[in-house]
Amino acid sequence: MTNYRLIEVNDAKDLLRFVRFPDQLYKGCPQYVPAIHNWEVKNLTKDAALEYCTHKMWMVTDGNKVVGRICAMINPRYNERYGKKCVRFGWFDCINDLDVAHMLIVAAETWAKDQGMDTIHGPLYYNTLGKQGMLVEGYENIPPFNCLYNYPYYNDLLEHLGFEKECDWIQYKMVANHGVPEKARRVANIVIQRYNLHFGSLDKLKKDPEMVKKFFRLYSDSFSEAVYNFIPFTEKEIEQEAASVRRFINDKASVLLLDENDDIVAFAISFPFMSWALQKAKGKLFPFGWIHLLRAMHNFETTDLMINGAVPEWQNKGVSAVYYREMGDRAIKVGMRWGISNPQIESNSAVNIWNSYEHEPYMRRRCYIKKIK
């Protein structure tokens, strides 16, 4: 007999239960990648986006056991930019029980309705920087460290509760050590000569905090119009993201393209595949979790292809051929065998670039949406 109870997360003890719940739910699942608990607590309490976002968290318990969790978030900058009244939900996990899922979603909807919202969608993060998209294909694969994993029944629960597809993101797994096609190499050489381009050093750039911030401002500008539902970053979000990724960025598998004045033209950032290390860490950096992460940072056999793009004034000038060529050459040098693409909206024509490489579908993830009654 169940004794379900909805509780709002208001103190440190309950927050830790909230953070640790997926480790219990996914115990024995070989694909699940635990988040570092301390990092999750920081994300839920001190994220830079919380300067302008509001959020609430709930759990459903059965006696002393947690059986579900959810975080509801309102991003006023998103709503203003797109003329909407949306609440986001994230950190959604629950047992395979429709009653539990219903209690969680209703809690989020009720709070959102009180705040004047009329639509709920997710799973999403506060902004475009965090984990988002419920897995709908590729359950047999291990997700990159910045992506969600969930059991297949999650989708059934949401659809039973009236949610519909808002959009899908897709990911591919590519053979990374074959280089680029000769045609792309010729195009890259022409573009380099035409615009007098050259490659900069990310190892050098990341030693200068101001240059790192400038890079992320350019990154924000590059995607502000091109990425679905993108929200330009605030200065504090830029500072936070710069600090968090500096340790992972280096010249071995990433590219920084500059013009003749040493201004940034384009970039392609990749990280070593950290998910296996996170599985070994089991949510903790200490005493030994940090060792697994440190070792993983030097292994590029499988690599997460995180972000790539050109600054606005250089878009549609063929510079993508340049950084793809260079990425292909560097992949061979570091012994990369596989590249896992970051989630890309299925309607984005940029996904067609992977047709130039030997590739296969890896994961498909979905944002669900419904009107609040």
Q: Along the 373 residues of the chain, how does pLDDT read in single tens digits?
A: 689 999 999 999 999 999 999 999 999 999 999 999 999 999 999 999 999 999 999 999 999 999 999 999 999 999 999 999 999 999 999 999 999 999 999 999 999 999 999 999 999 999 988 999 999 999 999 999 999 999 999 999 999 999 999 999 999 999 998 888 888 889 999 999 999 999 999 888 888 888 888 888 888 887 777 677 888 899 999 889 888 877 778 899 899 999 999 999 999 989 999 999 999 999 999 999 999 999 999 999 999 998 888 888 898 898 988 998 999 999 999 999 999 999 988 877 666 666 777 889 999 999 999 999 8
Give the CA distances from residue 52 to residues 22, 36, 55, 70, in Å, rounded to whole numbers and listed in that order.
27, 25, 10, 20
Report the alpha-carbon distance of residue 265 to residue 224 in Å, rounded: 16
Q: So what's the pLDDT on residue 222?
A: 79
Name the architecture of domain 4-169.
3-Layer(aba) Sandwich (3.40)
The domain made up of 177-336 is a member of CATH 1.10.287: no
4-169 and 177-336 share one fold:
yes
Task: Using DSSP, state whether 51 is helix, strand or coil.
Answer: helix
Q: So what's the pLDDT on residue 316?
A: 87
**Any bridge partners for residue 66, and if so which?**
61
Domain ranges of the chain: 4-169, 177-336
Q: So what's the pLDDT on residue 353?
A: 67
Q: Where are the alpha helices (DSSP H) in the chain?
A: 12-25, 37-45, 76-82, 98-114, 153-160, 182-195, 202-205, 209-223, 235-245, 275-281, 289-296, 319-333
Q: So what's the pLDDT on residue 109?
A: 98
Q: So what's the pLDDT on residue 218?
A: 83
Which tokens sit at 65? 């056991």
Q: So what's the pLDDT on residue 307?
A: 85
Q: So what's the pLDDT on residue 352?
A: 65
Q: Is 366 left (phi over 0), alpha (psi -120 to 50) or beta?
A: beta
